[in-house]
Amino acid sequence: MATVRESLSVNLSGKVALVTGASSGIGAAVARALAANGAMVWVNYLDETTVTAAETVVTEILEAGGAAQLLQADVSSEPDVLAMFSALGSDPLDILVNNAGIAHSSPVEALEVADFDRLMGVHLRGTFLCTRSALKKMYAQNSGRIINTASQLAYIGAPGFSHYTAAKGAILSFTRSLALEIGDRPITANCVAPGATMTPILADVPDDVLEGIRQNIPAGRIADVEDIVGAYLFLASDAAGHFRGQCLSPNGGDAFL
């Protein structure tokens, strides 16, 4: 069973959170961390291919004394997202973590439109669709935290990942404009831009490539998911109320923002 580090503790008692793409990787770690700090967490997963992993996350949270439930949706699908938020009913939503993502590599000249559209759909359209539905709740309750997952690659680029970095860059710009729209409401929109992190997305990356990535990180190692969750916990907390349209990047020195 995965554990949550004790390096940051915030009071999220009574808060309700939705984490998209929470069946594994950073999303699962964030879901566990939010629950460990008192939030009731909706664990979003894609479909039957990820439901078992999502159930494991929920079981871990419950066994640790937390509260969590499953919510299925393909965040790139408007009907799925509308159905997911409809399932929340009249319950509040205090924290939205837009984390669902996929990875795909291709040089631009060989990049298929279908692959480009699918990646943009999950990362960018998914962030938009979930944010749009969450705002209706947050405006009504006049409170909320929106935390979008970008990447340090949005700043520095990466060969073979033009569509991925473009999507993450768009999420950064979307977040900044959203923060301006929200204005002086007690609702915040911010980003976390993790550096290279050992998640299932890197599972098929050859060891020599991983070693090349590691060598370019001043901290000398690729992050574990628990290196990343503190940024999400902070932005979800009351202490981050004056953070608006900002990006926190736990990347080991890979990029200086």
Residue in 45, 155, 164, 232 annotated catalytic: 164
d(CA 217, CA 239): 29
Residue 198 in tokens: 């050992």
Handedness of CA 70, 76, 77, 78 (dihedral sign): positive
User: Cα-flanking dihedrals φ and ψ of residue 178, to 5°?
Assistant: -60, -40
Q: How far is CA 153 from CA 49, 79, 104, in A?
A: 28, 30, 14
d(CA 41, CA 22): 10
Burial category of 223 from C-beta neighbours within 10 Å (exposed 0-12, middle 13-18, buried 19 and up): buried
| 188 three-class SS | strand
Residue 229 in tokens: 């969750």
Angle at 118 between CA 168 and CA 18, to 5 degrees: 60
Please say if 139 is a catalytic residue: no
d(CA 45, CA 42): 10
Polymer length in residues for the chain = 257
Catalytic residues: 164
